[in-house]
A and B are shown apart, each in its own frame.
Chain A
Amino acid sequence: MPGKYIPSDYLPILIFLMVATAVGLGVLIAGSIFRLKRPYPEKLMPYESGNLPVGEPRYRFSVRFYIIAMLFVVFDVEAVFLYPWAVVFGSIGFYAFVEMMVFIVILVVGYVYAWKKEAFNWD
């Protein structure tokens, strides 16, 4: 159920998102009224240096991209743990520092492992 508060601080952001979307769509729609449209099959072909397109455009790509995406998820979660910690660090002090160092050291083990396994190399 909704709380008794309305997050009024976020109302401007909602309006901003609406205005930004309206600007984007508005420019597209306004443009579509004025501009020319004279398509023919050659014009609508995907660009491939003027040749006829060869093979599938969406091919299977290197597994490296998945490694990067998966490592990104892990390190993004790590960064998210750091944000609230950074905010309260000043008020908790030494105790907070030690526990975050333990956290970072455990993750650095994984980072070094990834490095040694050449997950960051691109060949």
Chain B
Amino acid sequence: MLAEIFFAYFAVVIVLTSILVIASRNPVHSVLWMLLLFFHIAGLYLMLDAEFLAAIQIIIYAGAILVLFLFVVLLLNLKEEIKGRPFSRIFVIALVLAIGMAVVISSTMKLLPPGPVGQYSMDMIRATKGGNSSIIGRVMYTEFLFPFEIASTILLVAIIGAIVLAKKRLRS
């Protein structure tokens, strides 16, 4: 019962803040709503006993990516942005489409077969010393070695891309 109450709280706040993110006129306010949103997503991860993911959610998404968003948003000329109408004319069509989508998803969701139960159940994670983070470490650095090394290459590409893009702007 208590778990359901917590879940309901997180779910409702996630939906509300997501709507506020796209409905705010001021992009800085959007970023702040998104910050609140990320915190509640982290709370949901905690409910699933994925504490490492919850911490990463805050450190990477709230602490790094959203800060980058904020830097970009600060560059916008807010005076013009705020003057614009918050909802454009296609709002009604978009709303109808969104509701239709929600109906389709919620009616077909029960038809999906549940995935197979793996080795790493919540009981198993709870029983392990160090919990979620040591399990993730053990799996990532033994079984998923190759994807992990690929990640470093992707990060390398990201560094180069960031510098190439910004250098163009510096010169002009």
Interface residues of A (CB under 8 A from B): 1-7, 10, 58, 60-61, 63-67, 69-74, 76-78, 80-81, 83-85, 87-88, 91-92, 95-96, 99-100, 102-103, 106-107, 109-111, 113-114, 117, 119
Is A102 a contact partner of B7 (Cβ separation < 8 A)? no
Known interface pairs A70-B68, A110-B160, A119-B163. Does A88 touch B49 (Cβ–Cβ under 8 Å)?
Answer: no
Separation of A91 and B60 alpha carbons in the complex (Å): 27
Residue of B nearest to A113 (CB): B160
Given contacts A5-B122, A106-B155, 16 further A-B contacts (CB under 8 A): A4-B3, A6-B6, A10-B46, A66-B72, A69-B68, A73-B60, A73-B64, A77-B64, A78-B152, A88-B138, A92-B141, A92-B142, A103-B151, A106-B149, A117-B163, A117-B167
**B79 smallest CB distance to A (angstroms):** 9
Q: State A103–B146 Cα separation when bound (angstroms).
A: 11
The bracket for how many chain B residues form the interface is: 35 or more
**Per-residue CB proximity of B37-63 to A under 8 Å, as 1/0?**
000000000111101100010011001
Tell me how many residue pairs across A and B have CB atoms closer than 8 Å. 142
- Main secondary structure on A side of the interface with B: helix
Whose C-beta in chain B lies nearest to the C-beta of A96?
B141
**Closest approach, in angstroms, between the C-beta of B7 and any C-beta of chain A?**
4
Is the pair A109, B156 in contact by a Cβ cutoff of 8 Å?
yes
Which residue in A72, A73, A106 is a CB contact (below 8 Å) of B152? A106
- Known contacts being A58-B74, A111-B159, is A81 close to B148, with CB within 8 Å? yes
Assuming the contacts A88-B138, A103-B148, A117-B163, asked whether A5 and B130 have C-beta atoms less than 8 A apart, the reply is no
